A and B are shown apart, each in its own frame.
Chain A
Amino acid sequence: MLIFYSSYNHSYAALLAAALHLGWLPSTRPRPEEILALADFARGRVEDFGVPFLKGQDQEGNLVFIVGEGPARHLVERALMSTLILGGTPRSEIHVVRLDPFLGAYSMYGYWLTRLSLSSELGRMLAAHFISIAWPRLVSLVSQVQSYSGLDVPKEDIG
C-alpha cells in the first residue's frame, strides 16, 4: 500500500505523522528537541509543493510518503489518486491522509511561525512546540491509518 500523509507544507504535520508511523517518534508527546532532531522538520520549500517524498517502509511493507499541498489542498489529493490509478496502481492500494483538517490551526501556526520568525531556528522550535500540543490527535489518526493498512496497533492508541 502507498500511504501519503499530506499537509500544507510537507515538512510539518505530514513529516511528523510519517515519523510517528515509522516509529521514529514516540506515541507519548515528544519533547521539542526530539522533533527538531528530524533534520527535514520545518525546512520544506515552496518549490516542493505537490511532490511526494518517500520517507520509508513500515513493518507491513507499506511505503510511507509525505506531500505538501500548498494552496492546492484537495487538488493534490485528486491528482495523486487519479494519476496513480491511471498508471495502474489499484485504488485499494492508495491511501491519502490530509492532516490539516484534522490538526486544524496547530499545523498552520507552526508553518507561519517559521515563516515570520526572525530566526529560522526559533521558528522551528515554536513550530515543534505547537504541533506537539496536538500530539494525541496525531497519534489517534496515525493509529487508524496503521490499523487500516494492516499493522497491529495497541488498542489504547486508537481514538
Chain B
Amino acid sequence: MRIIYHCYGGAHSSVTAAAIHLGLLPLPTVSPEAIVSLPYFDEHSGKELGQLFYYGQDIHGNDVLILGCARLANILKRTVRSALRLSSGDNDPLFINTLNGVNWCMRIGGFLSRRLGWTLVGRPLVTKGTLRALPRLTALVTEALEEHVNLLF
C-alpha cells in the first residue's frame, strides 16, 4: 500500500510524520540536529509543490511518500489517486493530512525559511516548532494508521 503524508509545502510536518512512521527519529528524545538532518526537511520550495516524493518503505512493505499541496489538497489527491491507478493499477493510497499537527512556530519559521529564503532565522524556528509538535504528529500518525490495523508498526 502507499501512504502519503501531505501538508502545505511538503517540507516540514509531512516530512516529520513520514520519518516518525519509518522510525527515523529516536523518539521520545529528539535533538534539533536529528530533525534538520531528516531527508527533505526544510528543503522544498514552491517549485516542488504538487510533486510526490518517495520517502521510504516501512516494515510492512508499505511505501511512504510525501506531498506538498498548498491549499489544493482536494484537487491533488484526485490527481495522485488517478495517476497511481493508471500507472500501477494501485488500490487507493492512504492520504494523511499532517496540517493538524502544525503549530504557529512551524508556520512562521517555514514561511521565513521557504517563502522568503531567510533560512538563518526561519530554519531554527521551524525546527523548534517541529520538536514541540512531535507528540501531536506522533499521535496523528498512530491514529491514522490504527484505522488500518494491518499498517501498524
Contacts and interface: CB of A to CB of B under 8 A. Distances in A.
Interface in A50-105: 50-52, 67, 69-72, 74-84, 86-89
Contacts of B53: 82
B90 A76 contact: no
Interface residues of A, number: 25
A78 B51 contact: yes
A83 B83 CA distance: 6
Contact of B72 (A71, A80, A89): A71
B86 A86 contact: no
A69 B50 CA distance: 12
Q: Decide if the interface of chain A is mainly helix, strand, loop or mixed.
A: helix
Nearest to B50: A75
B99 interface: no
Contacts of A51: 78-79, 82
Interface in B75-102: 75-80, 82-84, 86-88, 90
Contact of A52 (B50, B54, B76, B83): B83
Interface in B59-78: 65, 67, 69-70, 72, 74-78
A83 B79 contact: yes
B94 to A, nearest CB: 15
A2 interface: yes
Contacts, number: 85
Nearest to B87: A87
B52 interface: yes
Given A71-B72, A72-B76, A75-B72, A82 B52 contact: yes
Contact of A2 (B49, B51, B70, B86): B86
Nearest to B78: A50
Given A72-B75, A76-B50, A89-B87, A83 B70 contact: no
A74 B87 contact: no
Given A50-B74, A82-B50, 8 more contacts: A50-B82, A51-B78, A52-B79, A75-B76, A79-B51, A82-B52, A86-B87, A88-B87
25 contacts: A49-B74, A49-B75, A49-B78, A50-B78, A50-B79, A52-B79, A52-B83, A70-B72, A71-B72, A75-B49, A75-B75, A78-B50, A78-B51, A79-B51, A80-B83, A82-B53, A83-B79, A83-B84, A84-B83, A86-B54, A86-B65, A87-B88, A87-B90, A88-B88, A89-B87
Interface of A: 2, 49-52, 67, 69-72, 74-84, 86-89
